[in-house]
Chain A
Amino acid sequence: MSKPQEKLPATQQGERGLPVKNETIDAVSNRIKVLQNSGELHFPPDYSPQNALKSAWLILQNVVDRNQKPALQVCTTASIYNALLDMVITGLNPAKAQGYFIVYGNQLVFQRSYFGTQALAKRVNSDIEDITAVVVYKGDEFEYRLSKGKRIVSRHTQKLENINSKNIVAAYCEVYNHEGEIIASDIMTMDEIKKAWAMSKIKPITEKGDIKKGSTHDEFTEEMCKRTIINRTCKPIINSSDDKHLKLAASRSEVVRTENAIEEEIEEHANQDFIDVDEVKETSGQEEPREEQAKEDTPDNEEGTSDNNGSGRVYVHCENPDAKSYFKKRIAIEVCENNCRFFSKCETAQDALKKAVAGTETGEGEDGQKKLGPDF
């Protein structure tokens, strides 16, 4: 169902030879109209889906994947359609830096920027007037309190000389309503921020936990901190929307990214080293060395008891806490030619076993499957 994009005929060519209208765009427009007419989708008055689609299409001409191949050639039509639809449903416009297009394999996704996240939060919750993010530096006077599960800054004063991107200790975000009250707020320490960055695909954090030199996170640390805290504060607001289309559109890029990251991990780690069971000697050959080992061991305080549950299997209970058995306290020994598993090196246990075996010698093994080993 997903034809390569280049095969789609551009129905109209722009002045510079760019396709400005296309079947994919038409399909997205039609779908939007259906949703609008059925009352499932409402746009803010200042949002024009058509304008956003035109901007997106122009931007898409220049989007390339990591091998510098044009996105419109490598991505499936279905993923292009979905990325554009996600963009329009969330009411964002790439021309306003509210998001950008990224290629994962053959999947195109619309990745919301933090400007987009703010715009979307405002749309989901019409009470929101403003969303601010502030960075806290070493030496700032900073206090916060907890209220209804939210961390709210109660005092923050800063001096100009404190401002130094190497001395960031935290960042906080405050969401105000039209009356100027804080309706949402969160604080992240620099440690938490770095942990969040460490999850990022571009890996801006070294293994020691420092910011990588020369990375965007190194050069624009303040801005990246603000971005992280805004995203974190706005995410619950966006997720609280009861518009299923919007929620899906807002989260699908994450699913595609997860899928892509997992594919890479699988490629790297799946089907690697060979494993096999270790060679096991025949039971009869195993008995003697075990007897010897048992004699070498001089357990000082132990008791052995045994029972036979009548199924041809003997259980030896060794009370010595230091018993060198794999399963310290209980050693099960199957009285059969094939094995005696988890046999203890403990002398008392062995004696108890011999007694137990002597008891079973007269008994009949179940189904004749379990017979006594020759050494018993």
Chain B
Amino acid sequence: MNINIYHSGSSANLYRVSDKGVSILIEAGVPVKKIKKALNYKLSNIAGCLVSHAHMDHAKGLKDLLQCGVDCYVSPETAKALDLSGHRLYIIKPMEQFKIGTWIIKPFDLVHDAPCLGFLMVSGENKVLFAIDTNYIPYRFRGLTHIMLGVNYDNEILMDNVTLGHIHPELTKRILKNHMSLRTAKNFFRANDMSKVREIYLLHLSDGNSNAERFKTEIQQITGRPVYV
């Protein structure tokens, strides 16, 4: 079981989860050229690509990836927004699980300003949660082994930036509504069973409104598990 973080943040996202030789890309937020480079030009080893939503930092390379012959799995809303089609395109819906190789994947709804999916992925003993670009997680999970969670800002840093005039109030409201705060993330970790968790990845940290070291330390304190930012 392997997790690779190639790109993470507000400008580009690209991740890979693989188990027993079945590799799944999650998000395609960089041009396909960069995806190939990240994968060492072995695109054929990818069994499929899941994309959470239609925003460019998550789907920029999606169209070309379909052209390159990679099976891509997106929600109907994402397919429509990006005008996707083709025989490599698979439409997935929340709560309707499907299989890619050894992976059983159940998508579920998240809270964002574009329809956005999270993924619960199971392969053998591994149970991975992937949720990014969401205000909070509506659900709870049992027996997760790996958590990949988008945590964007800290309320205090964000409000300080508003007061100092570093960030526009309207943008602030958008961030508040559509991304996860450290506070919400901590409550998520408290609400879920952490007994089997082996690794936690914090994704999509904001450049100006977060503090990677502090996020890492505080979540490690709550969960007692290794946290990677």
Q: Is A177 part of the binding interface, using a Cβ–Cβ cutoff of 8 Å? A: no
User: Residue A266 contacts which of B100, B139, B170, B184 (CB distance < 8 angstroms)?
Assistant: B184
Q: Given A277-B97, A311-B44, A330-B87, do A252 and B162 touch, yes or no (CB 8 Å)?
A: yes
Q: List the A side residues contacting B11 at CB < 8 Å.
A: none
B228 located at the interface, meaning its Cβ lies under 8 Å from any Cβ of chain A in the complex? no
Contact partner of B138 (CB less than 8 A), chosen from A252, A272, A338, is A272
- Check A271–B188 contact: CB distance below 8 A: yes
Q: Are B104 and A277 in contact (CB under 8 A)?
A: yes
Which residues from chain A contact B102 at a C-beta distance below 8 Å?
338-339
Over the window 315-338 of chain A, the binary record of Cβ atoms lying under 8 Å from chain B Cβ atoms (1 yes, 0 no) is 101000000001101101010101
A269 at the interface (CB under 8 A from B): yes
Contact B169 A251 (CB under 8 A): yes
A82-B163, A270-B188 known; A275+B139 contact, CB < 8 A: yes
In the complex the two chains form, is A272's CB within 8 Å of B163's CB? no
Q: Mark B68-112, 1 if CB is under 8 A from A, else 0.
A: 010100000000000000010011000111111110111010010
Closest 7 CB pairs of A and B: A271-B191, A270-B136, A251-B169, A341-B99, A339-B99, A266-B136, A258-B173
A280:B136 contact, CB within 8 angstroms? no
Residues on the B chain within 8 Å of A276, using CB:
106, 120, 141-142
Q: Is B135 an interface residue (CB 8 A)?
A: yes
Q: Report the minimum CB–CB distance from B49 to chain A (whole Å).
A: 14
Known: A248-B165, A272-B139, A274-B140. A255 touches B176 (CB 8 A): yes
Select A280's contact among B99, B138, B141, beta carbons within 8 Å. Answer: B99
Q: B140: which of A82, A258, A271, A332 is its contact (CB, 8 Å)? A: A271
| B residues in contact (CB < 8 Å) with A | 21, 44, 69, 71, 87, 90-91, 95-102, 104-106, 108, 111, 120, 122, 135-142, 155, 159, 162-163, 165, 169-170, 172-173, 176-177, 184, 187-188, 191-192
| Contact B120–A275 (Cβ < 8 Å) | yes
Determine if A269 and B169 form an interchain contact, defined as CB atoms under 8 angstroms apart: no
Least CB distance from A78 to B in Å reads: 8
Q: Which of A262, A270, A326 has the most CB of B within 10 A?
A: A270
> Contact residues of A with B, CB < 8 Å?
82, 244-245, 247-248, 251-252, 254-256, 258-259, 262, 265-266, 269-278, 280, 309, 311, 315, 317, 326-327, 329-330, 332, 334, 336, 338-339, 341-342, 367, 369
- CB within 8 A of B141: which of A266, A274, A334? A274
Closest to A245 in B: B165
On whether the beta carbons of B159 and A255 are closer than 8 Å, the reply is yes
Q: Whole-angstrom distance between the alpha carbons of A341 and B105 in the complex? A: 12
Q: A270-B137, A367-B21 are in contact. List 18 more A-B contacts (CB 8 A).
A: A251-B169, A254-B173, A255-B173, A258-B172, A258-B176, A259-B155, A266-B187, A269-B136, A270-B136, A270-B191, A274-B139, A275-B120, A329-B87, A330-B87, A332-B71, A334-B101, A341-B99, A369-B21
